[in-house]
């Protein structure tokens, strides 16, 4: 384990990578740990019917992602002008305060407002990616970004488990307080140990004087077809990853015919993609740096298309566990590759802006995925979700081939 004193002796980009890995890990955990008991917490805040509780739970859950999708480009633009460290401090401190306050709410509207504020203060992960993408040596950028992906993925994976334990031992309210304290520790570590050359942003500010309007920046993104394709790929990956969430427990219940703990098994199934992503992401990062990131992205699309198609035919819990594990391998190939290519296709002065747009598309996917999964399950049964995901990945594969061919010409 690297001690705080040892951090100071590391190269700047490596020290930042270690500190920000912990930061994105805790951010991913904080965002996901409330999921097991959020609706139960809402139920304690008033007297609701089953249908109204479902509606309020959906609104409270979606509030953070919707606001994050709207404000992320604004924070990204400011980060490119004033510095990514400043945005990291804003995000970590803001989320620490918001999570701590969530433990004091007395009605669902207060909780919804704080969830919206949580989305407004978001951006830690996107700015961490942008900072490392700029600082890491070009021949190590893919590996460095892949390591960061393992942090956020591990946090998202362990968050529901930790949240369930904290809620069981300390209650719902104190769980929010603990999360707030942990995020404040992230703020302190970022403040004291993350270093950034602010002179870079004087150049960035000069380069952006002629394009300060949000619409011009958005038009610049759209004009680069490959960058737009990468953003839409982020949206697609998030949709297929979250589409299964609303009915996962029900699907597991249908597959278990011999009895058993459905909740525990559903937890294992949900954890499989995250576990394999943590294992495989650094390796794909190294392979991308050596053999080309576009080749890794192509593999990710093809592999995801095949795995989702096979999952559509699954009829056993063992088969589902295996195929969900393999799904995480495709995530490990796709997500870091998207971030690496965004770095290569974007001027350094606009790195945070592009990563913020990427987070906006990811947030939109986080809202669309569960909605799409619920609709597809009603129309085509549970397996239809996986056939849809396979088709979506196939469309991305074809679009990737066409876009790169046009770019080459």
Q: Over 70: is that where the pLDDT of 156 sits? A: yes
Instruction: Using the predicted structure, report yes or no on whether residue 27 has a pLDDT greater than 70.
Output: yes
Distance (Å, rounded) from C-alpha 263 to C-alpha 253? 9
Residue 409's pLDDT is what?
Answer: 61
Predicted local confidence at residue 338, as pLDDT:
85
Q: What per-residue confidence (pLDDT) applies to 246?
A: 60
Q: What is the mean pLDDT of the chain?
A: 79
Which has the higher per-residue pLDDT, 386 or 12? 386
What percentage of residues in the chain have a pLDDT greater than 90?
A: 15
Domains identified in the chain, total number: 1
Token pair 């930042």 in the structure block, residue? 16
Higher-scoring residue by pLDDT: 278, 203: 278
Q: Answer for the pair 92, 23: CB distance below 8 angstroms, yes or no.
A: yes
Q: What is the pLDDT of residue 125?
A: 83
Lowest mean pLDDT among 121-130, 256-265, 295-304, 336-345: 256-265
R_g of the chain computed on alpha carbons = 21
pLDDT above 70: residue 183: yes
Please tell me whether residue 346 adopts helix, strand or coil conformation.
coil
pLDDT tens-digit profile of 225-255?
788 888 888 888 888 887 876 667 667 778 8
Return the biggest CA–CA distance within the chain: 66
CA angle 236, 90, 127 (to 5 degrees): 40
Residue 342's contacts (CB-CB under 8 Å, 6 or more residues apart) are 133, 227, 230, 354, 355, 358
Say whether pLDDT at 3 is over 60.
Answer: no
Per-residue pLDDT tens digits for 276-335 = 888 888 888 888 878 888 888 899 999 999 999 999 998 888 899 999 899 989 988 888
Q: What is the pLDDT of residue 370?
A: 74
Q: Is the pLDDT of residue 204 over 60?
A: no
What's the average model confidence in pLDDT over 378-384?
A: 81
Q: What is the pLDDT of residues 248-285, one digit of tens each?
A: 766 777 888 766 666 667 767 777 887 888 888 888 88
CATH number at residue 185: 1.20.1250.20
Of 64-73, 175-184, 311-320, 383-392, the poorest mean pLDDT is in 64-73
- The rounded distance, in Å, linking the Cα atoms of 90 and 88 is 5
Q: What is the pLDDT of residue 306?
A: 94
- Range(s) of the domain holding residue 23: 4-408
Average pLDDT, integer, range 178-207: 76
């Amino acid at each position: 384990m690297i001690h705080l004193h040892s951090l100071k002796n590391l190269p700047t980009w490596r020290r930042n990578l270690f500190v920000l890995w912990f930061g994105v890990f805790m951010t991913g955990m904080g965002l996901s740990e409330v999921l097991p008991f959020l609706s139960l917490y809402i139920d304690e805040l008033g007297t609701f019917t089953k249908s109204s509780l479902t509606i309020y739970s959906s609104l409270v859950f979606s509030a953070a992602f919707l606001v994050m999708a709207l404000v992320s480009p604004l924070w990204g633009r400011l980060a490119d002008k004033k510095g990514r460290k400043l945005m990291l401090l804003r995000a970590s401190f803001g989320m620490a305060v918001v999570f701590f306050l969530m433990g004091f709410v007395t009605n669902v509207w207060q909780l919804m407002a704080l969830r919206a504020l949580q989305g407004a203060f978001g951006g830690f992960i996107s700015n961490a990616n942008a900072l490392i993408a700029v600082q890491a040596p070009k021949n190590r950028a893919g590996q460095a970004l892949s390591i960061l992906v393992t942090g956020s993925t591990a946090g998202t994976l362990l968050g529901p488990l930790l949240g369930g334990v904290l809620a069981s031992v300390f209650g719902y309210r104190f769980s929010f307080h603990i999360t707030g304290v942990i995020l404040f520790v992230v703020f302190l570590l970022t403040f004291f140990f993350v270093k950034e050359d602010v002179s870079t942003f004087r150049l960035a500010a000069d380069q952006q004087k002629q394009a300060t309007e949000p619409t011009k920046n958005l038009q610049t993104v759209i004009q680069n077809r490959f960058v737009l394709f990468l953003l839409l790929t982020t949206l697609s990956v998030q949709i297929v990853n979250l589409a299964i969430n609303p009915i996962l427990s029900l699907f597991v219940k249908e597959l278990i015919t011999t009895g058993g703990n459905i909740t525990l098994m559903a937890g294992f199934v949900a954890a499989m993609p995250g576990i394999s992503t943590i294992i495989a992401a650094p390796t794909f990062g190294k392979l991308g740096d050596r053999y080309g990131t576009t080749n890794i992205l192509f593999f990710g699309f093809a592999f995801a298309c095949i795995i989702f198609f096979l999952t559509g035919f699954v009829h056993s819990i063992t088969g589902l566990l295996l195929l969900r594990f393999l799904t995480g391998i495709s995530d490990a190939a796709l997500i870091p590759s998207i971030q690496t290519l965004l770095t290569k296709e974007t001027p350094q002065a606009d790195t945070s802006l592009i990563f913020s747009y990427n987070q906006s598309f990811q947030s939109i996917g986080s809202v669309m995925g569960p909605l799409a999964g619920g609709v597809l399950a009603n129309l085509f049964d549970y397996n239809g979700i996986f056939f849809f995901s396979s088709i979506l990945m196939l469309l991305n594969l074809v679009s990737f081939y066409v876009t790169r061919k046009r770019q080459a010409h």
